[in-house]
């Protein structure tokens, strides 16, 4: 199977997530990085491109130029990874979608709800594959949790507890010139949400992914604890799902002792499930009235859903990069399927609609919190 020609927008030197995307694209050998616009000046971009061994003429200082030229090249890129700060997701994605180039975009989808809606339409018009890297959905035991819930292992869901605490913004790191903290706390580049946008969207998406429940409404109490910060750094959110299930969501960037403590717990009429990102190869399952089982990736309790996205034997931990790579590999499957005119059946890949939901989640949190925690619905 020939590798898909991939370009990248963003992800130059000092960026964190760009390197992650490149490893993820490479891990299962389905993509080849051949072009990029890694920075906002041609000079910086070329330097990063050289680091990565790209041909100089495939490295651009402007993503529109890149989209135009790559769209015309005979062996131009087939797909692009967009890993810029949030506010650039929309304008960048639009250019590539316009030319039928598949898009793999970091989350949240956009920095504003208006942009998100426009991007949904741009994606629909384009017909190209659009994948949003809600990477946590690529973990094998998250896949298994979803499959088990769908199969009724926990019964009708009653309660969902989801949280994503971190501690890296406990102090005003953005004032020190740290690049990641800088744009992530800048509403112009990040959007109206701070912790809600950066990690709350992951938590919300994970709860949605595992349970399949649709949100009815939420009530949010957002806080900004670090003086001078312009976006929320902690959020307490109550959730009401459409069929009567209820939930709580906590996102925080100011909780000392937490690194990337994403965790989801689902409780239904006949069982419970628990999964934590920092211990991703285990899924804790309790059929009500029986002892808790520790299901392990590739172990005796692992299901087909987990096995399909698992690479190595049980007890050999797979981690964040493997889960991220699964998103890329399934994106490759979807792109190949489209190329072949075959159906993909890859209903599990997060897409532009999930992205819209994520941005709407942030918007709803901000609206609710401004109304002192009133219940609001997603403005989809």
CB of 312 to its own copies, least distance (A): 6
Give the 3-state secondary structure of residue 322: helix
CB of 294 to its own copies, least distance (A): 4
- Interacting residue with its own copies among 177, 228, 289, 345 (CB under 8 A): 289
Binding residues for its own copies, total number by CB under 8 A: 88
Q: Is 152 in the site for its own copies (CB under 8 A)?
A: no
CB of 124 to its own copies, least distance (A): 33
For residue 318 the two structure tokens come to 């797979």
Among 58-66, 83-91, 312-320, 347-355, the segment contacting its own copies (CB under 8 A): 312-320
Tell me the β-bridge partners of 267.
159, 272
Q: Within 105-124, which residues bind its own copies (CB under 8 A)?
A: none
CB of 20 to its own copies, least distance (A): 6
Tell me the CA distances in angstroms from 299 to 26, 154, 231, 335, one per residue in order: 26, 20, 42, 31
- Contacts for 257 with CB less than 8 Å, ≥ 6 apart: 167
CA distance 164 to 244: 23
Q: Is 47 in the site for its own copies (CB under 8 A)?
A: no
- Interacting residue with its own copies among 172, 270, 337, 346 (CB under 8 A): 270
Q: Is 203 in the site for its own copies (CB under 8 A)?
A: no
Q: Is 182 in the site for its own copies (CB under 8 A)?
A: no
Burial class (CB in 10 A: 0-12, 13-18, 19+), 27: middle
Among 204-212, 340-348, 359-367, 369-377, the segment contacting its own copies (CB under 8 A): 369-377
Q: Is 377 in the site for its own copies (CB under 8 A)?
A: no
CB of 127 to its own copies, least distance (A): 28
Q: Within 51-90, which residues bind its own copies (CB under 8 A)?
A: 53
Bond prior to 331 in cis (omega within 30° of 0): no
Q: Is 20 in the site for its own copies (CB under 8 A)?
A: yes
Residues 103, 268: contact at Cβ < 8 Å? no
Q: Is 93 in the site for its own copies (CB under 8 A)?
A: no
- Interacting residue with its own copies among 232, 318, 330, 354 (CB under 8 A): 318
Of 342, 362, 356, the C-alpha closest to 93 is 356
CB of 259 to its own copies, least distance (A): 2
Among 68-76, 101-109, 203-211, 254-262, the segment contacting its own copies (CB under 8 A): 254-262
How far is residue 39 CA from its own chain's centroid? 22
CA distance 280 to 324: 13
Q: Is 268 in the site for its own copies (CB under 8 A)?
A: yes
| Full DSSP string of 181-236 | HHHHT-HHHH-S-SHIIIIIHHHHHHHHHHH-PPEEEEEEEEE--STT-SS-SEEE
Q: Is 340 in the site for its own copies (CB under 8 A)?
A: no
């Amino acid at each position: 199977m020939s590798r898909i020609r991939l370009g990248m927008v963003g992800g130059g030197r000092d960026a964190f997530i760009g390197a992650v995307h490149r490893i993820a694209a490479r891990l299962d050998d389905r993509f080849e990085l051949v072009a990029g616009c890694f920075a906002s000046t041609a000079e910086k971009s070329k330097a990063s491109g050289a680091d990565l061994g790209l041909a100089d003429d495939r490295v651009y200082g402007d993503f529109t130029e890149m989209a135009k030229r790559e769209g015309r090249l005979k062996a131009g890129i087939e797909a692009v990874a967009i890993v810029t700060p949030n506010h650039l997701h929309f304008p960048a994605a639009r250019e590539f979608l316009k030319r039928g180039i598949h898009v793999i975009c970091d989350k949240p989808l956009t920095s504003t709800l208006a942009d998100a809606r426009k991007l949904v339409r741009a994606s629909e018009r384009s017909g190209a594959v659009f994948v949003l890297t809600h990477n946590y959905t690529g973990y094998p035991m998250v896949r298994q949790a979803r499959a088990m819930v769908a199969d009724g292992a926990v019964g009708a869901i009653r309660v969902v507890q989801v949280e994503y605490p971190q501690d890296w913004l406990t102090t005003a790191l953005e004032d020190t010139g740290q690049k990641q903290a800088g744009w992530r706390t800048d509403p112009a580049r990040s959007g109206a949400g701070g912790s809600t946008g950066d990690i709350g969207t992951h938590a919300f998406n994970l709860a949605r992914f595992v349970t399949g429940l649709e949100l009815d409404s939420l009530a949010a109490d957002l806080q900004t604890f670090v003086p001078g910060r312009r976006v929320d750094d902690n959020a307490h959110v109550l959730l009401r799902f459409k069929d009567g299930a209820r939930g709580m969501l906590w996102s925080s960037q100011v909780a000392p002792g937490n690194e990337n403590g994403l965790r989801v717990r689902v409780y239904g009429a006949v069982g419970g499930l628990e999964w934590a990102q920092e211990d991703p190869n285990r899924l804790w399952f309790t059929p009500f009235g029986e002892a808790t089982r520790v299901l392990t990736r590739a172990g005796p309790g692992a299901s087909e859903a987990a096995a399909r996205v698992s690479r190595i034997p049980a007890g050999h931990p797979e981690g964040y990069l493997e889960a991220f790579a699964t998103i890329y590999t399934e994106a490759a499957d979807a792109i190949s399927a489209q190329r072949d005119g075959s159906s993909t059946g890859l209903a599990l890949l997060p897409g532009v609609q999930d992205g819209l939901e994520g941005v709407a989640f942030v918007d709803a949190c901000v609206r609710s919190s401004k109304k002192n925690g009133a219940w609001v619905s997603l403005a989809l």
